[in-house]
Chains A and B, each alone.
Chain A
Amino acid sequence: MFLHSMMLFFSALVVLFVVVVGSWMLLTRQGHQAISVTMVGISTLRQRLGMSSVIVIGIAGVVAVLVALLSMGDGYRETLDKTGSADTAIVMRGASASEVMSVLDHDSATLIPQAAGIARDAQGRPIASPELVVAANLPIKGGSADDEGSVQLRGVGEQAFAVRPNLKIVEGRNFKPGLRELIVGKGAVRQFAGLEPGHDIRLGNQSWKVVGVFASGDAMDSEVWGDADVVADTYRRGSSRASVTVKLADPQAFDAFKAALESNPQLKVDVSTTLDYFSKQSEDMSKFLTVIGIVVGAIMAIGAIFGALNCMFAAVAARAREIATLRAIGFRGMPVVVAVMLETMLLALIGGLIGGLLAWLLFNGYSASTLAAGTVGKLSFELRVSAQLLWVGLLWALTIGFIGGLFPAVRAARLPVTTALREL
């Protein structure tokens, strides 16, 4: 939230800057002078190609790294946020931080779907899916034979598909109830070896057949699904379940549903909408990734600011005679300051655009993975370079350009005319 308001503040500053400087340049005499000095500066940029490219490339580097790191946090948050919705609710045993830590006994798991506020299907049954969540060790793709990673294994019934309408089987078929068959998310296929349909994998001392691949575009993509009863049998969970996910009649029905469950003395459960549940899970991690992005970006930005200062001081020194001549024939100090600033910021803008483009080309859609908080499997997610992030990158670039141009500009304007003219 803080970052967001910072961004708005800076955006407003940029707009203000453009409006004030723009109208000053168009409307006043000094402004007209500034335009001509700027044009001279820009037209001679080519003679200082090496110098200018240092600014451009330096800033492009900062922006590319910053945007790439921030897109990691954004992609992670987006994947988890998308997983939840306001019209589905998740019920877990009280005091459980996440599904895998929750245990609902058989009685609770059958009581919960009878509560008020749940949507019903064509046959009049409540759309509620009691599910079991455990972790499974599977060999990692491209690793050695002993290299095992953790994947979240979800035991489900047919209602699991009804509460998640966006989940589709994209390859093969669904598992048959009662058989040791699995369907796997397309993110999990990417991470673990041997999850292609038709393969057999081992969970414990049992062999399971992969029969299909599903896609949902959210955190479920990193999971592996099987029949709830068979999974419970393998993991010695009896008839207990971890959570019940229900489709609400409408988002307003949530309060009634929650109240109904919490007032039931037979149940000790926590109820939240899946939107709440998943966005809470992503909170800490995405904050952490954002902080890393900003720290690394800030250190690089300091380097780039000093690089820009260096180059612009050199540029001003190289043009000392030219600037002194302008001052001698009556140009005022202000237009000179504005011209140098604008030149630096133009270079910074180009650098920012290149950096943003680079980050977008290289990292947009790049898939990364981590052990997600609150789950027990590797969560794969895609980096998302959004328009908003590109704008943040440009703001950083312009800020670097502003600071990097300010001091050389003031130096240029303060140059004593007589000594500068005499200088070789």
Chain B
Amino acid sequence: MKYFHLIWAALFRRKARTFLTLVSIIAAFLLFGMLDAVRAGFDQAGNSANGAERLQTGSKLSFIQTLPSSLEARIAQVPGVKEVTYANWFGGAYQDPHNQVFSFAVQPNYIDLYPEIEVSAEARKRFDETRTGALVGEKLAERFHWKVGDKIPMQSTIFPNREGSKNWTFDIAGIMYSRDKKSGGFYDQMFLLHWKYFDETTPYNQGDVGWYVTRVADVNQADRVAKAIDAISANSDHETRTQTEAAATASWMKQLADIGLIVTSIMGAVFFTLLLLSGNTMMQAVRERTNELAVLKTIGFSSHSVLAMVLAESVLLLLLGGVLGLLLAMLIVGGVHATMGGAVPMAPVDGGIWVHGLLLMIGVGLLVGALPAMRAMRLNIVDALAGR
């Protein structure tokens, strides 16, 4: 540590070069931070404590196949089931079919199973009392400028109503907030309507249910409960498949894209380039300073401390650029969250990513510093001073 000012001075011996290299390193770690946030976002999706105690039961045939609503009572009787609710995909869009909205037709107790969602008691009461009522997520309401009490038209891209028209009307009964703002999931983008209103209005759904959500009393019993639920309809014409929410989300994400592969290949290219670039800078820096290093050795610095100083210099360079880059990534990812809500699968740049990042900075720093540092260590004082 006592040589810190010496290392610092060496690093900024050529300000322009250090600055240019720093910008390259910042760019590399900015990319790293953002890509790792995406990767972590995909990994963590559905992986919450609440998600672990929720089971999703859908048709074994496919996710578009519906189930009879009579299953509700039978699932509720399975030992270990605390509460059960069901929902249908509504496929809503506002004004333009491109403005797709995550919209579900749900039982009133749906919200009870999702403690992540915060709804005021009064909004809840209004929703329960209004047949055409809807609960909308905070970010969604912001996006379309909806207020409580508004009567809004909504298209369904799947279900026409009795008159054969795709236009449905809803009364906004309340706003839903995400309890955990940071990893809010997409709860503040959701649109919930009454399943009863839905079922009565469209001729295409005759008492059918898209999927059931069950909360189990004990997380460790989840597997057994899932099997018991599937056993109810085994060998019928509506066999079911029950998974924990975490497993179901993970399988969706995996089908969406092999994120791991894409992220790893981009990072590979980025870090290879980075290695080359900062390695080159360090080489230049040491070559230029051959004289000074020889002087240091002459006045008594050991070969090993010269080695350590050059290594420290390159690690410091990487740390400076890397920390700035990750801070930038943190700002940008935060900005994305603020504007688009939890709809983008991007985890906040926090502890895990910082640890990865810092390890990478130190690793890359040692790697690129190794060659110049060896050179500096092996420097022969007489030759170096003579300029040979």
Using a CB–CB cutoff of 8 Å, the interface residues on chain A facing chain B are 50-51, 53-54, 57-58, 61-62, 64-65, 68-69, 93-98, 100-101, 103, 134-137, 147-150, 153, 203-205, 234-236, 268, 284, 296, 299-300, 302-304, 306-307, 309-311, 313-314, 368-371, 376, 378
Flag if B269 contacts A64 (CB, 8 Å): yes
In the complex, the chain B residue whose C-beta lies closest to that of A98 is B157
Q: With A and B bound together, what is the CA distance between A311 and B155 in angstroms?
A: 58
Contact of A50 among B28, B31, B251, B283 (CB under 8 A): B283
Min CB distance B255 to A, Å, is: 5
Most central of A135, A205, A309, A310 by chain B CB within 10 Å: A310
Flag if A235 contacts B164 (CB, 8 Å): no
Contacts of B25 in A (CB 8 A): 303
Question: Contact mask B261-288 → A, CB, 8 Å, 1/0?
Answer: 0000110011011101100110110000
Contacts of A296 in B (CB 8 A): 31, 35, 266
Q: With A and B bound together, what is the CA distance between A50 and B287 in angstroms?
A: 13
Interface-forming stretch among B133-141, B234-242, B358-366? B234-242
Q: Give the 9 A-B residue pairs with the shortest CB-CB distance, closest first.
A: A95-B166, A135-B62, A303-B27, A97-B157, A310-B20, A61-B273, A306-B23, A303-B24, A101-B158
Flag if A314 contacts B277 (CB, 8 Å): no
Min CB distance A225 to B, Å, is: 15
Q: Other CB < 8 Å A-B pairs besides A296-B35, A307-B21, 8 of them? A: A51-B280, A94-B160, A94-B164, A205-B237, A235-B65, A300-B270, A307-B277, A313-B17
Contacts of B98 in A (CB 8 A): 284
Flag if A303 contacts B157 (CB, 8 Å): no
Using a CB–CB cutoff of 8 Å, the interface residues on chain B facing chain A are 16-17, 20-21, 23-25, 27-28, 30-31, 35, 60-65, 91, 93, 97-98, 155-158, 160, 164-166, 204, 235-237, 239, 241, 251-252, 254-258, 265-266, 269-270, 272-274, 276-277, 280-281, 283-284
Q: Knowing A302-B27, A314-B284, say if A58 contacts B277 (CB, 8 Å).
A: yes
Flag if A61 contacts B272 (CB, 8 Å): yes
Flag if B273 contacts A307 (CB, 8 Å): yes
Most central of B24, B60, B91, B98 by chain A CB within 10 Å: B24
In the complex, the chain A residue whose C-beta lies closest to that of B274 is A303
Contact of B24 among A137, A153, A307 (CB under 8 A): A307
Contacts of B284 in A (CB 8 A): 314
Flag if B166 contacts A94 (CB, 8 Å): yes
A-B contacts, CB under 8 A, total: 153
Flag if A134 contacts B65 (CB, 8 Å): yes
Contact of A136 among B62, B158, B277 (CB under 8 A): B62
Flag if A302 contacts B158 (CB, 8 Å): no
Flag if B157 contacts A54 (CB, 8 Å): no
Q: Knowing A368-B258, A371-B256, say if A58 contacts B273 (CB, 8 Å).
A: yes
Contact of A147 among B64, B251, B277 (CB under 8 A): B251
Flag if A370 contacts B257 (CB, 8 Å): yes
18 CB-based A-B contacts, threshold 8 Å: A53-B276, A58-B276, A61-B272, A61-B273, A93-B160, A95-B156, A95-B157, A135-B65, A150-B63, A205-B60, A235-B65, A268-B160, A284-B98, A300-B269, A303-B24, A304-B24, A310-B277, A313-B16
Contacts of A284 in B (CB 8 A): 98
Flag if B62 contacts A306 (CB, 8 Å): no
Contacts of B60 in A (CB 8 A): 137, 204-205
Q: With A and B bound together, what is the CA distance between A309 and B19 in angstroms?
A: 11
Flag if B158 contacts A96 (CB, 8 Å): yes
Contacts of A97 in B (CB 8 A): 91, 93, 97, 157-158
In the complex, the chain A residue whose C-beta lies closest to that of B61 is A204
Contacts of B166 in A (CB 8 A): 94-95
Flag if A137 contacts B241 (CB, 8 Å): yes
Contacts of A236 in B (CB 8 A): 237
Contacts of A93 in B (CB 8 A): 160
Flag if A136 contacts B273 (CB, 8 Å): no
Contacts of B164 in A (CB 8 A): 94, 268
Contacts of A300 in B (CB 8 A): 27, 31, 269-270, 273
Min CB distance B164 to A, Å, is: 5
In the complex, the chain B residue whose C-beta lies closest to that of A368 is B258
Q: With A and B bound together, what is the CA distance between A155 and B156 in angstroms?
A: 25
Contact of A205 among B93, B235, B280 (CB under 8 A): B235
In the complex, the chain B residue whose C-beta lies closest to that of A148 is B251
In the complex, the chain A residue whose C-beta lies closest to that of B157 is A97
Q: With A and B bound together, what is the CA distance between A279 and B182 in angstroms?
A: 36
Q: With A and B bound together, what is the CA distance between A304 and B25 in angstroms?
A: 10
Flag if A95 contacts B30 (CB, 8 Å): no
Q: Knowing A94-B160, A300-B31, A310-B281, say if A101 contacts B21 (CB, 8 Å).
A: no
Q: With A and B bound together, what is the CA distance between A61 and B268 in angstroms?
A: 10
In the complex, the chain A residue whose C-beta lies closest to that of B91 is A101
Min CB distance B363 to A, Å, is: 18
In the complex, the chain A residue whose C-beta lies closest to that of B28 is A303
Contacts of B97 in A (CB 8 A): 97
Flag if A135 contacts B63 (CB, 8 Å): yes
In the complex, the chain B residue whose C-beta lies closest to that of A97 is B157
Q: With A and B bound together, what is the CA distance between A309 and B23 in angstroms?
A: 11
Flag if B269 contacts A303 (CB, 8 Å): no
In the complex, the chain A residue whose C-beta lies closest to that of B280 is A54
Contact of B20 among A58, A101, A309 (CB under 8 A): A309
Flag if A203 contacts B157 (CB, 8 Å): no
Min CB distance A267 to B, Å, is: 11
Contacts of B155 in A (CB 8 A): 95
Flag if B276 contacts A203 (CB, 8 Å): no
Contacts of B257 in A (CB 8 A): 368, 370
Flag if A303 contacts B23 (CB, 8 Å): yes
Flag if B27 contacts A306 (CB, 8 Å): yes
Flag if B266 contacts A135 (CB, 8 Å): no
Contacts of A96 in B (CB 8 A): 157-158
Contacts of A62 in B (CB 8 A): 273
Flag if A370 contacts B65 (CB, 8 Å): no
Min CB distance B175 to A, Å, is: 27
Flag if A61 contacts B61 (CB, 8 Å): no
Min CB distance A297 to B, Å, is: 10
Q: With A and B bound together, what is the CA distance between A113 and B64 in angstroms?
A: 27
Q: With A and B bound together, what is the CA distance between A241 and B27 in angstroms?
A: 53
Q: With A and B bound together, what is the CA distance between A238 and B165 in angstroms?
A: 23
Min CB distance A365 to B, Å, is: 16
Contacts of A54 in B (CB 8 A): 276-277, 280
Q: With A and B bound together, what is the CA distance between A58 and B20 in angstroms?
A: 14
Contacts of A369 in B (CB 8 A): 255, 258
Min CB distance B237 to A, Å, is: 7
Q: With A and B bound together, what is the CA distance between A149 and B254 in angstroms?
A: 9
Min CB distance B50 to A, Å, is: 22
Flag if B20 contacts A313 (CB, 8 Å): yes
Q: Knowing A95-B157, A299-B31, A306-B27, say if A311 contacts B280 (CB, 8 Å).
A: yes
Q: With A and B bound together, what is the CA distance between A58 and B25 in angstroms?
A: 13
In the complex, the chain B residue whose C-beta lies closest to that of A149 is B255
Contacts of B258 in A (CB 8 A): 368-369
